[in-house]
Structure 1
Amino acid sequence: MKQTSLVKEKLPLGSLLALSTISFSVLVTELLPAGVLPEMSADLGASEAQIGSLVSAYAIASAVAAIPGVSLTRGMGRKTLLLSLLVGFAVANGITAISSNYSLTIVARILAGIFASVLWPLVASYATRLVSPQNAGRAMATALTGSTIALSIGLPLASAIVGMVGWRATFGILTLLSLILFVWVSLKVPPFPGESAQDRVPLSQVFKIPGMPTILIVTFATLLAHYILYTYIAPFTKALHFEGGTSLALLLFGIGTLVGIALTGKLIDNHLRRTALGTVLLTAISMLVIGTVGNLAIIAHLSVFLWGVSFGGAPTLFQTAANKVADKAIDVATSIIVTVYNLGIFGGSLAGGFIISASNAYALPWTVFVLILVSLIFVWNGYRHAFPRTKS
C-alpha cells in the first residue's frame, strides 16, 4: 500500500519549483564573483585575490551563521521567515550591484551568506512538509534540483549574461529574481507554523540522536572529497590532457549531476541505503578509473560523467537521511548539515590547493578515492540508524 501511495501522490510542483528556484539563486549568488574576477576587480579597485575572497566570505558566513540562525528563528512561522529572508537576499544583492566600495561589497556578501545559511535548511525542511513522509525524499530532490542546475547551467549562463550586460546588471537580475520569488512564494507556498517552545529539541541533543554523527561524518568526507577535485578541475584536465578541455569536463559533469539527482529522486524514498551505497561506490569507481586510465579520451569522458552522476544526488541523500533520524529537530539538523556541507567545500578547496602544491594534479583523484572509501565504510556500518536496511 505504501508503494501505491508513493506513486499516486501528486507533488505540489508550484511550491517545489519556487523552492528549487530559491536554491538556484542562492548558489549562483555565492559563486558568481569567481567568474567575474577581472570585471569586479577593475570596478571596485581591488585585487583579484580580494574579489575571490568575496566567495570565501559568503561561504564562511553561511557556515558560521547556519546553526545560530536556525536556532534563533525556530519559533517563527515558516512562510513569514522565508519571505523575510528573500527580502534580505534582495537587499544584499542590490547593494552588491550598486556598490562602488570594496568594504561595502564584502559586508553585503557576508549579509547574503547569513541569509543563505537560514534559507538552505528552510528550503529543505519546507519541501518535506509539503508532502507525506513517504514522498519526502522525492520532494526534497525536486527542491534542491535548483542548486544542481546552478552548477551545471546557471553559472555558465550567468557568465554569458555578464559578458552582455556587465556584472552589476547581473547582480541586479539576481535582486529582481528574489523579488519575483517573494511574489511566487506569497501566492503558491502554503504557511506552516514554527516550532513551539515545548517541542524544540536542544542543539546538544541533536548531535546525540542515533545515526546523526555517522551522517555528519559521511557528509563531510564526501563533500571534502568531491571539492578537492572539482575546485581544481581546470589544472587537473590540463595535466591529464583531457580531450575537450575543462569546458567539456564541466559540461559532462553537469549533465551527470542532473541525471544523478533525477535517479536519486526516484529511488531515495524506498531505497535510501542502497542509493547511498551506490552513490559513494560510483564515486570510488570513477576516481579509480580516472586515476589509472584517465588519459584515454572516451573512458575519461565517461568517468567524469559518472562522477557527476554520483555527486548530483549526494546532498539530497544526506539531507534526507538526517531528516529521517532527526524527527522533530529537522530544522536544526538541517542547519548542522549545511554547516558541515560548507566546511567540506571550504576544506576541499584548501586541501586540493595543498595537494597540487606539494605533489601534482594526478594526486587529486587518488585523494578523493581514499576519502570516499571512508564514506563507504561509514555508510555500510550505518545500517542501524543512519542508513537503515530496508525491511522486507
Structure 2
Amino acid sequence: MPVAVRQRLPAWLFALVFTTFAFATDDYVIAGVLPAISADLGVSEAAGGQLVTVFSLAFALAAPVASVVTATWPRRGLLTGALAVFVVANWAGAFTTSYALLMGLRMLAAVAAAAVVPAAYAIATTLAPEGRQGRYLALVMGGLTGSLTLGVPIGTWVGAAFGWQATFGLGGALGLVALVAIRRTLPETPPAPAMPIRDRLAPLAGPRVLLGLLGIVAIVLGSMMVLTYLSPFLHDLAGAGPAELGWVFVLAGLAGFAGGQFGGRAADRWGSYRALITGVVGFAAVMAVFSACWFLRPVPLPALLPLLLVWAAVSWWIPPPAQTRLLALAGPAGPQALALNSSAVYVGASVGGAVGGLVLGGHGSGWLPGVAAGVELAALALFWLAGRVR
C-alpha cells in the first residue's frame, strides 16, 4: 500500500476539528456583536459582556462534571446529543428578546460544549494510530485557532450585515453541520468501563495530575498575559493602532495554527516533555527579544511582524505536548484529566487577564513579556516536578 494512502487522515478527524471550530466561534464571536446585543436588549455593554463570562464560567464548571457523568455513555451518541442541544440553544437565542433568557441559553450552550470538547480530545487520542497522538490532538485543537482567524471575523460580519440574531443563527448552523459530520463519520468508540465514580476520580487526586494541571494553568496564564494586552503593548512599543492590530491578529492566528501542528508532530517524534521544553524555551526567548526591543522604542511594526509571528507559533506549539504530557501523567483517567484540563485553561485565561492587568497598571506594558516568560518557565518546572513524583 502506498505511504500516502496509509497516512491519509480520516474523515472523523476533520469532523472533530470542525466541531471544536463551531464551539470556539460561538464563544468568541459574541465580542464582535456585543454593542448590537446590548442596544437591542436594553442593557449596558458591561452587562452584555457577561454573556461571554457566563459561557466561560459554565464551561469551566461543567466540563469535569460532564466527563464523569457521561464516562460510560457511547461517544458518538454523546457528541450528537450535545450538539443538538447546542443548535437549539443558539437558534432559540436568535429569537429571544429577553436578556435573562439569553443568559440562560448561553449557559445551556456552554454545558453542551463542556460535554463535547474534552470528549473530542479524548476520542482523537484514543483513535489515533500509534505515534500520532500529538498531531491528531493538535489538529482538533486547531479548530480553536481557526475560529479566531476565520469563524469570528465571518460571524462578526454576518452580525453587522444582518443583525446579531443572524450571528446566533450562524452558530446553530455550524453546530448542525458538525452534528451531521460526526453522525456520518465517527466510528462508535467504546465508553469507559463501568466503575464507581470514586474509583474513576482517584487517579486525578494524585500529585502528578495536580502538578500537571497547575502547569496547564501557568502555561495559559503566561500566554494570555501577552495576548490580552497585546494592543497597549504594541501601541507603546510601535505606535500601532486598531487598523494595524487587525492584520496582526489575522496573521498571528495563521502562525498559531501552524505552530500547533508542529507542536503536535514534535510531541510524537521527540516525546511530549522534550517538545514542551522546546516550546517554552522558544516562548521565553521571544519574550526576551520583546523586552530588548522595549529599550529601542519606537520600533516600526513591520520590523516586529516576524517576531510576532514566531510568538504566535510558539504560543500554540505548547498546548499539544502539554496535553499529551497530562494524558501520560493521568494514565487510565486520561479522559477525566482532559476535562479538568479544559477547566484549567479557562482558569489560566481568567487569571492571566487579571495578573496582566496588575502588571500593566503597576509597571507598564513593557514588563509584560518578562513576567510572562517567568510564568511559562514556572509551568515547565511544574511539569518536571510532576514527572519526578512516583
TM-score over 0.5 (shorter chain): yes
How many residues are paired up?
381
Cα distance in 1, alignment partners of residues 98 and 361 from structure 2: 33
1:346 equivalent in alignment to 2:350:
yes
**Residue-by-residue CA offset, 1:8-44 (whole Å, 9 max, x unaligned):** 8535431011100111111111111112221111111
Matched residue, 2:264:
265
User: What is residue 361 of structure 1 aligned with on the other side?
Assistant: 365
Between the aligned partners of 1:282 and 1:364, the Cα distance in structure 2 is 16
1:279 paired residue number: 279
Aligned 8 A contact 1:124 1:143 in 2? yes
Q: In terms of mean alpha carbon deviation, does 151-160 or 303-312 score higher?
A: 151-160
- Describe the shift of the 1:9–1:139 C-alpha distance in structure 2 as closer, same or farther (beyond 3 A): farther
Equivalent position to 1:332, from 336, 343, 347:
336
Which of 132-141 and 336-345 deviates more? Answer: 132-141
Q: What is residue 165 of structure 1 aligned with on the other side?
A: 162
Q: Does 1:59 align with 2:63?
A: no
Letter in 1 for 2:275: T
Tell me if the contact between 2:33 and 2:160 (Cα under 8 Å) persists in the aligned partners: no
Which string of whole-angstrom CA distances, capped at 9 and with x for unpartnered residues, describes residues 177-219 of structure 1? 211221111111111121122497432322317x423321221
1:3 maps to: none
Q: For 1:61, give the aligned amino acid.
A: A
Counterpart mapping for 1:1-392 below 5 A: 9-198=6-195, 201-208=199-206, 211-243=208-240, 245-271=244-270, 272-294=272-294, 295=297, 296-297=299-300, 298-380=302-384, 384=388
Q: Residue 131 of structure 2: SS of its match in structure 1?
A: helix
| 1:253 Cα deviation after fit | 1.9
Three-state SS of the structure 1 residue aligned to 2:72 is: coil
Q: Is the contact between residue 36 and residue 159 of structure 1 (CA under 8 Å) also seen in structure 2?
A: yes
Instruction: Provide the C-alpha distance between the structure 1 equivalents of 2:303 and 2:328, rounded to a whole number of angstroms.
Output: 37
Question: Partners in 1 of 2:92 and 2:237 — Cα distance?
Answer: 41
Separation of aligned partners in 1, 2:210 and 2:196: 22
Alignment partners' CA distance in 1, 2:371 and 2:149: 24
Contact 2:264–2:321 (CA under 8 A) maintained in structure 1? no
Identical amino acids, percent of aligned pairs: 26
Report the alpha carbon displacement of residue 269 of structure 1 after superposing the two structures with TM. Answer: 1.0
Structure 1 residue 109 displacement after superposition: 0.9
The 2-side partners of 1:120 and 1:82 are apart by 9
Q: Give the drift of 1:49.
A: 0.5
Q: Structure 2 unaligned runs (5+)?
A: none
Measured in 1, the distance between the counterparts of 2:132 and 2:229 equals 36
Quote the Cα distance in structure 1 between the aligned partners of 2:27 and 2:84.
17
Q: Distance in 2 between matches of 1:299 and 1:383?
A: 40
Equivalent residue letter for 2:253: G
Q: Distance in 1 between matches of 2:16 and 2:215?
A: 25
Higher mean Cα deviation, 363-372 or 181-190?
363-372
List structure 1 runs of 4+ shifted beyond 4 angstroms.
Answer: 6-9, 379-386
Deviations 1:334-375 (A, max 9, x none): 111111111001111222223333332222222212211212
TM-score normalised to structure 2 length: 0.91
One-letter amino acid matched to 1:123: A
Cα deviation code 1:140-194 (max 9, x no counterpart): 1122211111123322232222222222112101101211221111111111121
